[in-house]
Amino acid sequence: MNNDLEELLKEGKYDELENKITQLLKTRDDPAYHYYLALSYFFRKKYSKGYKEALKAVRGSPENPIYLFTLIKIAYNLSRETSNDKRLKEAYNLLSKLEALDKEKKIVESDEYLLLKSNILYDMGMYDEGLKELEKIKNKDALDYFKLKADILYNLKRYSEAIENYNQALKYDPNNSEIHYALALSYEKLNKTDEAIGEIEKAINIDPENPYYYEEKSKILTLKGDKDGAMENIEKALSIDPDNPLLISTKIFILLSFNLKDKALNVLKEFSEGSVKEEMEALCEDLEARKAEAKSQEMKDSIEEIQLKYC
């Protein structure tokens, strides 16, 4: 029977598979059925349903490493989809359990597992550990490898190395706007504003409806001292997502950068009058982060003055 389920899964006949298992479960509760249901939901990106089924499979057969691996995969993807730290920590904590359970190392030495573990460590902020696991992958000739390695290197502030790996990733997917965006961020960190502008414009051309690309362009133009260009692009970002507190924070930062404190105060005043508590808290939190990153004491003082009035 499991061979039949395996075939349906391989052929992508998910509805048929799920209906068949639903009928089978009426006669017998088998962990394998829950495992196949979990995989079906996983491939359909129905992570909440997949998580519940994977959990049932593991509880029914706790010594089966395949079931546990599936639970970790789904818990991780669920954490990404819902920004659920609880699921992320669960996936992380289950890694050591799987490594102890997989006596033959067929799973934990596979590239799929090593990439998953590296992603989990990356999301946990454990960048050095994530990079160490990533380098154990045998087949490094892949987009996912170079993209994740670049992301880790960026967070380790190794921006030149990050750029090298983002460019390697682009060879597999030249029209990936997120990689061009990441390159722009990396070049900005190195104060290579011309290169940063070139990359963010590529990202915009590929995905012109992403407000964060215009926001990034506005930040780069601020570094270049182009007030009109910076304001034009942050306004474009806000035209796409007008109530986004992070974009409002960037607009305030740009105005302060060009010594337009009164205008910055007006922007914050208008936003505070029309926003809900959570949006205002997000804006104030972002301003606090920008104050910590500000290079001049004058900018720090300006942000603090605004915070005292509205945060």
pLDDT at 294: 85
Mean pLDDT calculated for residue range 261-273: 93
Residue 54 has φ and ψ, to the nearest 5°, of -65, -40
- pTM equals 0.91
Please provide the average confidence, as pLDDT, over all residues in the chain: 96
**Can you tell me the distance from the alpha carbon of 163 to that of 185, in angstroms, rounded to the nearest whole number?**
10
In tens, the pLDDT along 184-239 reads: 999 999 999 999 999 999 999 999 999 999 999 999 999 999 999 999 999 999 99
Residue type, 307: Q
- For residue 284, name the pLDDT band (cuts at 50, 70, 90): very high
CA 28 to chain centre: 40
* Highest mean pLDDT out of 58-72, 258-272, 282-296, 297-311: 58-72
pLDDT at 295: 82
pLDDT at 20 over 90: yes
255 Cβ neighbours under 8 A, 6+ residues apart: 261, 263, 264, 267
**Can you tell me the distance from the alpha carbon of 31 to that of 6, in angstroms, rounded to the nearest whole number?**
14
pLDDT at 14 over 90: yes
Least confident of 134-138, 242-246, 295-299: 295-299
- For residue 125, name the pLDDT band (cuts at 50, 70, 90): very high
Least confident of 2-6, 168-172, 205-209: 2-6
For the chain, domain boundaries: 243-311
User: Taking a C-beta distance cutoff of 8 angstroms, is the pair 287, 249 a contact?
Assistant: yes
pLDDT at 274 over 90: no
Mean pLDDT calculated for residue range 149-172: 98
pLDDT at 275: 84
User: Taking a C-beta distance cutoff of 8 angstroms, is the pair 67, 107 a contact?
Assistant: no
Task: Write out 66-101 in H/E/C secondary structure.
Answer: HHHHHHHHHHHHHHHHHCCHHHHHHHHHHHHHHHHH
pLDDT at 1: 57
Mean pLDDT calculated for residue range 109-134: 98
In tens, the pLDDT along 85-120 reads: 999 999 999 999 999 999 999 999 999 999 999 999
